[in-house]
């Protein structure tokens, strides 16, 4: 029996965030894989790897590019730098122009998530886009 804890996606950090990203990537331990929370290591089907998405640009970079996640530093007037990650639909039409001959850009639903680092913000944004605003993660990851 696996004990789970529901947490807001915007609060995910560390192994809990990495676990949620791995789940979004199709490496769900509940479907025959295993996860070692101490070493943050996944073994799933024929894949075994360190799953530190929220700290490793080599793992997170392809996700950021594929999912078209944009990152921007937020004003540090609150005393610390925060990062915002956004993902959403943007439509640009070169053949559609407004009355003043400027290109028309239409923004549809955009999801913006904050984080203390670019990767944490980006991975929270990715998880939110796939799993929603709250995620059930193994309780043992919450204190890891």
Per-residue pLDDT of the chain (144 residues; tens, 9 = 90+): 458 899 999 999 988 898 899 889 887 655 555 666 656 566 555 555 567 899 999 989 999 999 999 999 887 666 677 898 998 655 555 554 445 555 554 455 566 889 999 999 999 999 999 999 999 988 877 765
Give pairs for 22-31: CB < 8 Å, separation 24+: 22/51, 22/53, 23/131, 24/126, 24/127, 24/130, 24/131, 25/63, 27/51, 30/2
CB of 110 closer than 8 Å to CB of 89: yes
> The whole model's pTM is what?
0.75
- Which residue spans within the chain are E strands per DSSP? 4-8, 34-36, 41-44, 47-50, 70-74, 82-97, 103-115, 134-138
Domain ranges of the chain: 4-26+52-141
């Amino acid at each position: 029996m696996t004990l789970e804890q529901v947490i807001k996606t915007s609060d995910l950090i560390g192994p809990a965030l990495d676990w949620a990203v791995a789940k979004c990537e199709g490496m769900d331990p509940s479907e025959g894989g295993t996860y070692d929370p101490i070493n943050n290591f996944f073994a799933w089907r024929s894949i075994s790897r360190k799953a530190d998405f929220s700290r490793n640009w080599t793992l997170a970079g392809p996700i950021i590019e594929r999912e078209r996640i944009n990152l921007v530093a937020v004003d540090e007037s609150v005393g610390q730098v925060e990062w915002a990650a956004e993902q959403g639909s943007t439509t640009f039409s070169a053949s559609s122009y407004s009355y003043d001959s400027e290109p028309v850009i239409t923004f549809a639903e955009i999801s913006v998530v904050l984080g203390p680092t670019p990767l944490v913000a980006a991975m929270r944004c990715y998880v939110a886009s796939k799993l929603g605003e709250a995620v059930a993660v193994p309780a043992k990851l919450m204190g890891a």
